[in-house]
Structures are given as structure tokens and as C-alpha cells.
Amino acid sequence: MTVQLSRKETMLLQDQKKHEEVCVAKYNTYARQAQDPNLKQLFSNYAQQEQQHLETINQILAGHVPQVTQNSGQGQQILGKNLKGANNSHDAGLCSDMLMTEKYISNTYDTAIFETRDSNIRQVLNHIQKEEQEHGEGIFNYMKNSGMYETDN
């Protein structure tokens, strides 16, 4: 299926492309820098999903509406353990940065979704946003389970 994007849609998608490029780079870099092997794996999984998001945005920018692929939950199984001993300030800083990044990017998808005319593209962007939110949840859970993020229980 092909689609003609408006100037505004193109601009918003180009912004999302830049955001996804940043996510891919950060997750790959942080996967190499993380000290906890579980966090390395989590960041590596998310880097792969972000690369898929980038490829999807590129397809839309080229005028093609890709099919939604299901990746949701990848990496979530890493978080089932009690990681209280894994807390360290270096990994905590990486997690905090990625959690802020995911919050920001999820928010920018709201605008792109609302400003997109084609319902099929909106569906694809909604799917990507859902995965961004799952990434944030995964990082939050890792931080909570590692004692890096205090909650009231």
C-alpha cells in the first residue's frame, strides 16, 4: 500500500526518524557500557526493536505503509528476578537517561499520531508508541527491582 504524505506529516515523521536514530545509538552504546549482564541484554533487545522502528519510519517516509509486526514484551523476562544486589550508580545513570528518553519519545508519537491522516499509518505509529511505552516500563521495572527507583509499594 502506498500513501502520499503531507508536508506536515513528512516533517513529523522526519523528527521521529531522528528520535529513533538517537534511541538506536544510545541503546547500543549503553548495552556496551552497562555493568550488569541483565541490563546489557535488556538494552540490546531494545536497540533491535528501535532499529525496527527506524526502518518502519523510513518505509512510511518512502510512501509505503508497512505491516505491524509484534515484538511486544521482548526483554521483559529479564526483569523477573530480584536484582537488589545489582544496583550501581553507573547503570543507574544509564537507566535514568533511557527512561527519560523513552518518556520523551512516547510523547512525541502522540503528536505524530494525531496529525496523521491515514488510519493505517496511525495504527503503525500507535504500535511503535506502545513498544516505546513497554521499553519505559521495562527500564522502570529493572530500576525498581534493582533498588534504583524507590516506590511506595
C-alpha to C-alpha distance for 69 and 134, rounded to whole angstroms: 15
Confidence grade of residue 88 (pLDDT, cut at 50, 70, 90):
confident
What are the extents of the domains in the chain?
7-66+84-145
Span of 10-19, 35-44, 114-123, 144-153 with lowest mean pLDDT: 144-153
Asked: is 7-66+84-145 a CATH 3.40.50.720 domain? The reply is no
Q: How far is CA 81 from CA 8, 42, 78, 135, 144, in A?
A: 45, 13, 7, 17, 11
